[in-house]
Structures are given as structure tokens and as C-alpha cells.
Structure 1
Amino acid sequence: MKSLIVSDKATISRLAERLKHAESHAQYQRIQCVLIRATLGSSAVEIAQLLGWSTATVHVIHSRWAKEGDAVFELRGRGGRHHQYLSLEQEQALLAPFVARAQGGGVLTVTEIQQAYEQHTGRQVAPSTVYRLLDRHGWRKIVPRPQHSKADVAAQAAFKKTAPSGTPRGRAPG
């Protein structure tokens, strides 16, 4: 069987140095996968058991490393806004008049922002789109407190037990 990984000292030292500077756990494991083969000459089954991977994954990493070299260790990021209508800068520009009004003490409704968003993009969007937009830019819904922070609960309970004078319960027996 042809060896995909050459175990010379230069390759091993380069991989060992790269292992020290791995940016993520996934990148660390990929480097380990190649380094274990280069240093110990372990089989794909043994490496898979060590890393908790399938044997097929180890074969893929070894094959890609033989073809691509160190590029196999560079992982592309996950996620992202792939279906956005506006960029972050365009969203900030859209929210600018609403920010000015809010800083002046004005009340904003999501429907107003949604209408402006739809007019700007030329598409209808769900309210959840606008809520996510506001969350992305650090906005939050402010609601009044259910009770005052300095309220005395004991005094309120005592007040409820005493009836005001002039009411049938508050009259002195007579």
C-alpha cells in the first residue's frame, strides 16, 4: 500500500509547530490525525479510535493532506447571513431616523419600522424579520415595571386591612 504521508523530520517538526498554534479544537484534531500517522505510523483504524472519528474520515483527511498539503487544516466558518436584504450598514442607515426619534423620547412601533424596511427593500417581510433586525443592532423592548422598586409590601398589606372612614366597614360601632 502506498503511503500518503511522508514521515521525514521536516514534515513532523512543521506539523508539531502547527499543532501548537491551532486555532480551534477541530483544527487541532485534523493536525493530530496527520501527525500521528507521520510519527507513529498508526493505521487509520487506530487513529480513528484515538480521535473518536470514523475510519473513513481519517482516510479523507490523509488523502486531502497528500493532495492539498496544509490547506486541509484551514476550516471555513459556519453560518452567516446568506439571505440578507440589506447589509449591516444599510440597516443602520435605515434605523437612523428611528434612533434619533427614540433618543428624543419618542415611542417606536415595529409596524413603522417594518413599513420603512419594506419600502426600502421593495419586498414584504414578516414582523420577525424586523425584530431580528432590531436585536442585531442592540435594541430591546422596554416595558414598565409591574410595581415600583421602592414599594413597601408590608405597608400595602396593612393598608388593605384598614377600611377608610365613612364606609360601612369603617364606621365606629355606635
Structure 2
Amino acid sequence: MARQASGSEVLERAKRLVVEAKTMDELRQAQAVLLPLEFGLTLAQTARAIGVSVGWTCQLRRRFVLAGGMPDADRARPGGRRRENMTREEEVAFLAPFFEKARMGGILVVGEIKHALDKRLGRKVALASAYNLLHRHGWRKLAPDKRHPQADVAAQEAWKKNSPTSSSKSIERGRAKGRSA
């Protein structure tokens, strides 16, 4: 014989939730509690009725009962930055002097930011932490271009065509030495 279903203390809340449910998940969770208590269904029968596995049905019931009759939708979900050093607002305030200096024509030096971050947090942090901090606030490392934006490509090509190569210079030196001997 199967064990008697527990959770009678939240039965009234489950009945209300069946009527008030806004999502299918809330409805299933209320049904997972209601069907075994009201109609004496087993977990397997309840799972078949609500369209989920037996394990998931058990989990839905347990969550509802442990939360005191609150559906999963109302509980806080994990996510976000759990190991953050500073809040977003603190990061903005920390980076403000560096960004202001960069706006005035200065260069944003990541090493300086890392050093200031070490002092602010009271411990050493990886250089990647400084880069991640900048990345979160829309800054990226700029690498120099392959050529100067004001370069005259035609003049550079003409110089390449007309300039002596290193091998021709050595041949000329060799000839000069041979003639003087």
C-alpha cells in the first residue's frame, strides 16, 4: 500500500491556485498537490494526469509544500552576478574618473585601472577583472591600425618600386671592393 500523501496544510491554497493560475507551470504545481490529496491518486497517476514525469511531480509537490503554498513562479530564481566585487552603480562611480580622463583626450590605461581596483577591493585581482569591468561598461581594447589613416598608399608603393633592395646594395658594395683592389 502506498504512503498517504502529505501537504494537507496547503490544500486550500492549492485549490485556489488551480482557479487563479496564470501559467501552465502554476496549474501543474497546484494539481500535483491537489490530485493526491483530494482524489487519492498515486504519484504515477498524478504524473500521467498532469503530463510530467513521476520525479517531476514529486518535486513540484515538495516545492509547493515547503514554500508554504507559494507557486514556483513567486520564488526568487538564481541568476545574476553572485560573486560581484561591486554593484553596477559602484562600478560606474569607480570608472567615472578614468572615463572622464579618456574623454579629455587621455588614454585609458588598463594597468592603472587594475591598480586602482586592487586598492579599492583591498586585494590583488587578475588583469582580466579590469578588462571584464571595462567590457561591462562598453569599453574595449583598441589595437593600432595596420596603416596610418592619413597614409598616402600611392606614394608608399612608388617608393617600394624605386628603392634599392638589400641584395642590390650588397652587390654594389662587392663591386666597389673589387675595383679598388
TM-score range, shorter chain: 0.5 to 0.7
Q: 5+ residue gaps in structure 1?
A: 23-27, 150-154, 169-174
1:58-109 CA distance string (max 9 Å, x none) = 2232244345112554232213333333232222222111111111222112
Aligned to 1:111: 111
Aligned to 2:179: none
Note the 1:25-104 alignment, pairs <5 A.
28-35=24-31, 38=34, 43-48=42-47, 50-51=51-52, 53=53, 55-66=54-65, 68-104=68-104
Aligned to 1:17: 20
1:125, CA displacement in angstroms?
A: 0.6
Letter in 2 for 1:136: R
Q: Residues 69 and 43 of structure 1: is their aligned pair in 2 closer, same or farther, counting only changes over 3 Å?
A: same
Instruction: Tell me the number of residue pairs that the alignment of Structure 1 and Structure 2 aligns.
Output: 151
Residue aligned with 1:108, SS: coil
Identity %: 27
Q: Residues 120 and 73 of structure 1: is their aligned pair in 2 closer, same or farther, counting only changes over 3 Å?
A: closer
Segment of structure 1 superposing worse, 63-72 or 93-102: 63-72
| TM-score when normalising by structure 2 | 0.60
Letter in 1 for 2:135: D
| TM-score when normalising by structure 1 | 0.62
Contact 2:63 2:72 in 1 (8 A): yes
Residue aligned with 1:70, SS: coil
Distance (whole Å) between structure 1 residues aligned to residue 111 and residue 76 of structure 2 = 38
Q: Residues 77 and 145 of structure 1: is their aligned pair in 2 closer, same or farther, counting only changes over 3 Å?
A: farther
Distance (whole Å) between structure 1 residues aligned to residue 110 and residue 97 of structure 2 = 14
Aligned to 1:128: 128
Q: 5+ residue gaps in structure 2?
A: 169-181
Contact 2:17 2:30 in 1 (8 A): no
Q: Residues 15 and 118 of structure 1: is their aligned pair in 2 closer, same or farther, counting only changes over 3 Å?
A: same
Q: Residues 13 and 88 of structure 1: is their aligned pair in 2 closer, same or farther, counting only changes over 3 Å?
A: closer
Residue aligned with 2:69, SS: helix
The structure number with the bigger radius of gyration is 2
Q: Name whichever structure is richer in helix by fraction.
A: 2
